[in-house]
Structure 1
Amino acid sequence: MSAAKPRTAAVLGTGTIALGWIALFAAKGLDVRVSSTRADVKEHVTRALRLYAPSLPDGAVPVDLLMSRLSFFADVEEAAAGAEVVQENVREDLALKQELFGRAAQAAPEALLLSSTSTLLPGDLGALLEDPARVVVGHPFNPPHIVPLVEVVAADGAEAAMVEAAVDFYRFLGKRPVVLRRAVPGFVANRLQSALLRECIHLMREGVVTVAELDEIVTASIGSRWAVVGPFRAFHLGGGPGGLRHLMAHLGDGLERGWAGLGTPPVDDVTVRTLLDQADEAFGAYDYEELAIWRDAAQNAVIAAVEDVGKPN
């Protein structure tokens, strides 16, 4: 394949992540071959494109134009045949993913095989293939048609050219791919998110803050900060003219003491009930489409604002 200028991509699955990829692939001009066993797949995808089309990164695209670039197949082999890229997005079931990659690899022996998995390792995904390292994880952050990050994770022994092709493909889509130096469970972004979520649940469970107050604290502090600088650069600036060296010299011992005091809350019935009751009180009636439209518009505005300012060297 020409990784920088692909023409055809297969998308396996039509869940939330897959739908975001379908919208973005079509918006970038790809012929998208959708594999799904849903009887109402065209209606299902059309509803999603109506939701996503106004918030595509390069501007709104008519839904009819996006749909004209899609074709639908119940059979994985038919969807993968002729595709230069196969992006898998089915449920986190290792045996199912292995089966689908085996079938896709036979139908498209030259295609780049990518998975959106958030939990499974690339070597395991390709274990049944003649070359297990052929599968590369391209893990996006939801919603994938907007959030720039894609974590690229390769199996041991993967060819450098194949990893580069994956990176080129995601850059073609306008993403910011980061190649992990080694595969770890959960990758990086979700591990960070999980660590923060654990302490959020702990603080809520202990009655320190409510769900609504916790969200307010995050969006009014570290949330807006991290949209501009990551944790390390933030602490580098926190050290003043002396930077990170000055900060670590003064806070090193205190960091360990602080880590020792972090919570490890049980996810039991009491915790879940408290969390859900507070969420219902804080957020009221849940209109997914309305909230997703607001989130996508706000997320695009944040990304555009930061890009407009530019970054330091």
Structure 2
Amino acid sequence: MAESWNKGDVFLLPIDSTRVGLGQIVDVLQSELYVVIYANIWNASSPPCPQDAVGQEVLFASLTLDAKLHHGDWTVIGNVTNNLANIKLPLSKVRISGEMHIESHDGSWSRCATAEEAEQLRFRKTVAPVRLEKALKAHYGVLEPHPAYDDLRYDLVVDLARLGGDDCRLRILGALGMEELLRQLLNRLEQVGSNHEELYDTECRERMGNAVMDGFVRNKGDFVLADDFGLYATEANLAVKEALAEYITKANSQAAESSITDFHERLAAFQNSDVESDGEGSFYDDFCGHSAPDAFDSTGNVIE
């Protein structure tokens, strides 16, 4: 984006020569803004102050770009953040490897969606800021109504509470817990690899990947973790075993608490490319390779 905007920035947008509306930046993403437009309007000669955003009814909401702000068509008048917690953050759906997933507004997490959840969600969309401005103008009779403006209505936003309440929230918290467990595993394996470069050899990576696949992703009841992962030193094999054992045990526990039982959900939880180690920025496939989700059926069997 051309400028540096902040969460809570409150701005004016024109309706006509005598009236202005009020909007607010709810979140600042890498290349987008999530903004809301409030229902009330003011006389341009006596515009609102930033604090007037608190308690206002939200009329429209969308991911958008910063062009109108950058060019000064929308004027930032201040910053207020104490109302942001009350504004819904939209969930959207996205297709990953042929399967529908729920994704947060900022893309920080995703998980497999049930059929019912996918039915409620819309695909992620970013609109030009002029459409939000036109939607407000149409609402007040300056422009003709249009279905594209109706799509921006705030009451259509599906958030965690609307999607599934406590059950959905638990599943999301479970996904976030999975991310932390994966990060801890990557950190420990990276530590081993710093002194034992053979950890990155194909044989070692296959053995570690198979362990995670059978112990966590497939969650085989008769799974027993091996002692040898192809490293030269006994202490290195032991360190890998301990790291994998802790991950598999805690990940299975987290999955049970969060009702993450589907094979592909578990695979996605492990093969999460948004998670990297704290040191060298290593990813799951640096240690365990990658398994294509569409190569397996719903129970984890390889599709012939």
TM > 0.5 fold call: no
Higher helix share: 1
**TM-score when normalising by structure 1:** 0.29
Which of structures 1 and 2 has the bigger CA Rg? 2
More strand by share: 2
